[in-house]
Amino acid sequence: MRNILVFVFLFIGTKMIAAQEIELMNKFENYSHTLDSTTIPYRMFIPQYQENEKLPLIIALHGSGERGSDNQKQIEFHRLSTVWVDSANQKEHPCFVIAPQCSMENRWVDTDWTQDKYDFAQTPISNELATVSNLIDSIVSKYPIDKNRIYITGLSMGGLGSWYLLMNNPNRFAAAIIMSGAADPQMACQIKNVPIWAFHGDIDAAVPVEGSRKMIKAISNCGNDVLLISDPNNKDFLDNEIMTNRIINSQHIYTEYKNKGHVIWKESYDNWLVREWLFSKKQK
Q: What is the pLDDT of residue 135?
A: 99
Dist. CA 229–CA 203, nearest whole Å: 17
Contacts of 117 (CB under 8 A, 6+ apart): none
Look at residue 31 and tell me whether its pLDDT is greater than 90.
yes
Average pLDDT over residues 37-59: 96
For the chain, which residues make up each domain, given as ranges? 30-279
Evaluated on CA atoms 180, 185, 189, 191, the torsion sign reads negative
pLDDT, position 115: 81
What mean pLDDT do residues 145-171 have?
98
Least confidently predicted of 21-35, 165-179, 237-251 = 237-251
**Residue 271 pLDDT greater than 80, yes or no:** yes
On the question of pLDDT at 246 being above 70, the answer is yes
Res 6 pLDDT > 60: no
CB neighbour burial string for 151-181, b if at least 16 within 10 angstroms, e if fewer = bbbbbbbbbbbbbbbbbbeeebbbbbbbbbb
Region 150-179: mean pLDDT is: 98
- Name the percent of the chain lying above pLDDT 90: 83
Mean pLDDT in the chain? 92
Report CA torsion sign: 187, 189, 191, 196: positive
- The mean-pLDDT minimum among 55-59, 104-108, 120-124 falls in 120-124
pLDDT of residue 13: 40
Query: How many residues does this entry show for the chain?
Result: 284
Tell me the average pLDDT across 91-106: 98
Mean pLDDT lowest among 10-19, 108-117, 199-208, 231-240: 10-19
pLDDT value of position 11: 37
| Measured torsion, CA atoms of residues 114, 100, 179, 211, in degrees rounded to the nearest 10 | 30
Q: What is the DSSP string of 196-253?
A: EEEEEETT-SSS-THHHHHHHHHHHHTT---EE-S-TT-HHHHT-HHHHHHHHT-SEE
Span 30-279 CATH architecture? 3-Layer(aba) Sandwich (3.40)
Determine if the pTM surpasses 0.85: yes
